[in-house]
Structure 1
Amino acid sequence: MTQDPISSRLAPHVKHLSAGDAAIAGSLLTIDLGALEINYADLVEKSGEAECSAVIKADAYGTGLEEAAKTLWQAGCRTFFVAHPQEGARARSTLPDATLYALNGLVGDDTDATMSYYHTHRVRPVLGCYEEIDLWSRYCRSIGEALPCGLHFDTGMNRLGLSKKAAHKLSDAWTTQPPPFTPTLIMSHLACADDPHHPLNSTLLDRFRAIRALFPDIPASLANSAGVFLGPDYHFDLTRPGIALYGGLATSNRPNPMQTVVTLNSRVLSTRHVPKGQSVSYGASEVTKRDSRLAIINMGYADGYLRTGSSSDKRKGARVYIEGYEAPIIGRVTMDLTIIDVTDIPEDAVKRGSWVELFGPHMPIDEVAAIAGTIGYELLTSLGLRSLRRYL
């Protein structure tokens, strides 16, 4: 192949950058695995006598399933939860000896091939309806092996889960004839644990206690992240923290005690002076109220930074942190770019190439999410693939 003459002349003088080189990164997603480990240790302590598991669904809440799973295993975690069977297969490649549960139950066609997928990857489905119980029973009989699984009972979410009536029916039936599978966990889900004073918390606890009494020999689990903070009555045998592991706020109206795990930064591409009375970004939804200095950053909704964080003349949008100062978004967040108002920041502090923190230790993710009309969960799990990932 003939070498390009221009490339040939420049080659001795130019550093050739790879796609993973920070020098050409327009945005940087930093995942602090040390903070993840600290958070897990804190939740282990708060779980008391109960085993503390880890929920690693949705790519470990956007942090990267493999890296998070490996860190949590090294920290002592032995039981993990995913949502889908494919997530379980990914987790199994990193966690050969872990106990893995799939919260969404038997996802896929009602065929032996689907059941075999769970079996092959040793992912325990959490069965939440009679149809799933029948399917798992049929498959276990066909292979002559009582495979493990979880059982999900609905105590008030009205989402997934078997009813209280079903719990009594199964308990009575299994007294005389054990099931063809091995139930290794019974679980339910708290609907309002993020509000510690919500009356439904104690109601759901009482309902789960009644169901648990029907299966006294099977380990039980009720507490999600917020449930861990409700205290030992909610812990049972196994807690299932998710968002708190990754630094998100688990309970409302309280300071967040968890370490920051995820920080999203983006570069300033350029700055410009804009006179008073000029519209900014798509839709002309916001007009400058003064002579302004604006900075354009390399981040948009295609990167997972939500469009609902936009600003307009009618509502204030999200804020960012840059060079020791906070700055507001001005106008709409677009697919690839976001504009911030840096008028109140010294001019020499913000320039092309400056790094902006969209969320992280100085700009808590849950505060950004609240302004965008959502929760930290959505911001984390919406993170795009264009940011260069760096693991600490």
Structure 2
Amino acid sequence: MNTEYDWITTPITAGLLRGALDLERTAHGLLPHRLPARARAQCADAQLAMAESQPSGVRLALRTRATAVELDTLPTKRHYVGAPPRPDGVYDLLVDGRLAARGSVAGGSTLTVDMATGTTGHRTGPVGTLRFTGLPATVKDVEIWLPHNETTELVALRTDAPVEPVPDRGRRVWLHHGSSISHGSDADGPSTTWPALAASLAGVDLINLGLGGGALLDPFTARAVRDTPADLISLKIGINLVNTDLMRLRTFTPAVHGFLDTIREGRPTTPLLVVSPLHCPIHEDTPGPSVPDLTALGAGRLRFRAAGDPAARASGGLTLAVVRDELARIVRQRAAEDPHLHHLDGRALYGEADYAELPLPDELHPDAGTHRRIGERFAALAFAAEGPFGAAQPSRKGPI
């Protein structure tokens, strides 16, 4: 700890955090979760456990005169066998809503993943310290966005002036659920994932339930969405169901209906937007699963390919084209009785022409520039005056 400042230590509590659905006390401190404990108890999948504990969209939100902030954390770094080392997770400091600085915490624990065998290993490491200085000495709102792709235990918060939670600003709350793209894969920072960018442009508060590899129409996720107070809900459905080769069309259709039914049990009139998959050439007409390209991995690059058989479409195999058509049909059917249900073709956010200009580096995930494009387009389409979220009024007073 730096002794240059007269530090005040403030307990990290739920009142100082935004974007988490649950907080777990650990031996080191506080671990934010993006799925509640009941949901986590219903699934033993290691991929989902990793994804939901990575705090995409989770941030400390403080009102303070402090000019210096220190945050002790215990991060968990990921290392993929055969791939280049991943950079340390990024923390974004926002002052009155504007990105003011970025930092990282070295060290921490390590999760080693062997993509070829599916095995993992864990090594515990030391707590590290993040430090921001030179902040204006006026009353301001300070947000520290935690790394979207790095599990982060919060250990201690220190400032050189008292802090209090940011008061409710009366902004609408937007809850978004999706895959690793919504989670933020390959974005350059936690406040510049496409959902975070869209939320900033629209002036709404984000709860990001983008779960890398975990957008699989799980009933426990639907219940988490249903039970979380939100004014606006969007669901980006499809790519994970294709690249896990989890379902056939016969099971996909009722699973989508069931997911929507569960949400509507508690949120009957909340604006609800169903978004179909972005353009992704390897799976447009070829079912999953997605598998690592071992040739690229041997050359030190992480890249994916489709391992399914295009002929499987005849027996209900899911491709992105099949999923888009079926989602559009489902929403048309339900919208006859649900005027608050809407549909957005994901290719309006990132289509074939975008891929030609900004290809997916690993054939599945967009880079930082593409995240910005998707976020800007989503804000323009969904939050426009005539868009599905444009004229929505707060609905949190409805049943939960």
| Higher gyration radius (CA) | 1
Question: What's the TM-score, normalizing by structure 2?
Answer: 0.26
Structure holding more strand per residue: 2
Question: What's the TM-score, normalizing by structure 1?
Answer: 0.27
Structure holding more helix per residue: 1
